[in-house]
Amino acid sequence: MHNGTTITQFIIEEQRHIQGATGDFTSLLNDIVTAIKVISNAVNKGALIGVMGSAGSENVQGETQKELDVITNEIFIKSNEWAGHLAAMASEEMDDIYPIPAQYPRGKYLLVFDPLDGSSNVDVNISVGTIFSILRCPGEGDAPSAQAFMQPGTKQVCAGYALYGSSTMLVLTSGHGVNGFTLDRDIGEFVLTHPNMTIPEDTKEFAINASNQRFWEKPVQRYVEEALAGKTGPRGKDFNMRWVASMVAEVHRILMRGGIFMYPKDTKDPTRAGKLRLLYEANPMSFIVEQAGGASSTGRERILEVQPDGLHQRVPVILGSKNEVETVISYHQA
């Protein structure tokens, strides 16, 4: 029998500290938690239920979808469309927004999500995850358009991610620190296991896709070259390099022990400002990282202050331990 705080208990206790809280937000989070449990089960069973491999389709970014991309997107929609807490949803896997169907009541929140981050890793059994963000819907009673989602990351009410690894974890912030919960499959509940998660200000670990080195801008080239030079270079210390190709796994490692993650602007595809999506990946992860004491930047500006101009806008991402992120920013300003 567990002796910890369940996520339901945690959310309700948090709600009690908010004057005028109606319970809508708490209920919405519970629906998201349900979706994550269902996705965890699908990912965990994988080949046993025949959901591995390509779906034979592409998403709006032109990326080949895995069968689990399609399945997990549908799980998130069906779990959250009916309860009356949302006005609309937007997903990395859908071209346009998903308004709540007319047969359901319309709520005051917007939900954006990447249902299966790092899905290219599914077939080789490497950790993947789900990322989500909650915004308030502007206007009262109006059917929202895509414009309603064009809010900077500072406007997020809540952000979180689920990590489907050796255990399933849910990491969450509503602007009052970061807390981690582990799924206890025996009782079917997430239990608080990592309260008040914080990121060390200093680190000797960086994560970047080194195969793109020839396309990086000079500030990132400089930072990585100095890190690789170790004790013999200007930084005077040895670094380790990591790369999982799953943003959830990269950020989780940083939350647990520090580090810096970079998917910077490069010249590989000059039509793209960056690789990662602002609404579905960069904003929620930046909110979590900053709430844990870290920093997040494009290299030129704070990610949470970027004004979105499209549902699938991409941005450069540099986040993690505060002092290392500030070093990379300083190189961009030099």
Structural domains of the chain, with CATH: 7-194 (3.30.540.10), 205-333 (3.40.190.80)
- C-alpha 78: how far from its chain's center? 20
294 vs 19, more confident: 294
pLDDT at 62: 53
Judge residue 204's burial from the number of C-beta atoms within 10 Å of its C-beta, 0-12 exposed, 13-18 middle, 19 or more buried: middle
Sign of CA dihedral 27, 30, 36, 41: negative
pLDDT at 118: 84
pLDDT band at 21, cuts 50/70/90? Answer: low
Say which range, 48-52, 139-143, 248-252, has the weakest mean pLDDT.
48-52
pLDDT band at 47, cuts 50/70/90? Answer: low
Give tens-digit pLDDT for 186-208: 999 999 999 999 999 999 999 99
Gap between the terminal Cα atoms of the chain: 57
* Reported pTM: 0.93
Q: Is 118 left (phi over 0), alpha (psi -120 to 50) or beta?
A: left
41 and 164 Cβ atoms separated by less than 8 Å? no
130 and 161 Cβ atoms separated by less than 8 Å? yes
- Does residue 55 carry a pLDDT above 50? no
Mean pLDDT of 279-286: 98
Give tens-digit pLDDT for 249-270: 999 999 999 999 999 999 998 8
pLDDT at 150: 98
Q: Residues at the annotated binding site for substrate?
A: 117-120, 209, 275
Give tens-digit pLDDT for 237-250: 999 999 998 999 99
Q: Residues at the annotated binding site for Mg(2+)?
A: 92, 114, 116-117, 281
Give tens-digit pLDDT for 151-192: 999 999 999 999 999 999 999 999 999 999 999 999 999 999
38 vs 142, more confident: 38
313 vs 140, more confident: 313
pLDDT at 52: 53
Give tens-digit pLDDT for 292-307: 999 999 999 999 999 9
pLDDT band at 67, cuts 50/70/90? Answer: confident
User: What does the angle CA 61 – CA 63 – CA 69 come to, to the nearest 5 degrees?
Assistant: 105
Mean pLDDT of 69-95: 95
pLDDT at 107: 94
Give φ, ψ of 251 to 5 degrees: -65, -40
Burial call 292-319: b when 16+ CB within 10 Å, e when fewer: bbbbbbbbeebbbebebeebbbbbbbbb
Of the candidates 265, 251, 264, the residue with the CA atom closest to the CA atom of residue 321? 251
Q: What is the dihedral of CA 66, 68, 74, 78, to 10 degrees?
A: -170
- Does residue 59 carry a pLDDT above 70? no
Q: What is the DSSP string of 218-248?
A: HHHHHHHHHHHHGGGSTT-S--EEE--S-HH
- Does residue 314 carry a pLDDT above 80? yes
Q: What type of residue sits at position 282?
A: A
19 vs 197, more confident: 197
Rounded Cα distance between 9 and 298, Å, is: 36
Q: Residues at the annotated binding site?
A: 92, 114, 116-120, 209, 275, 281
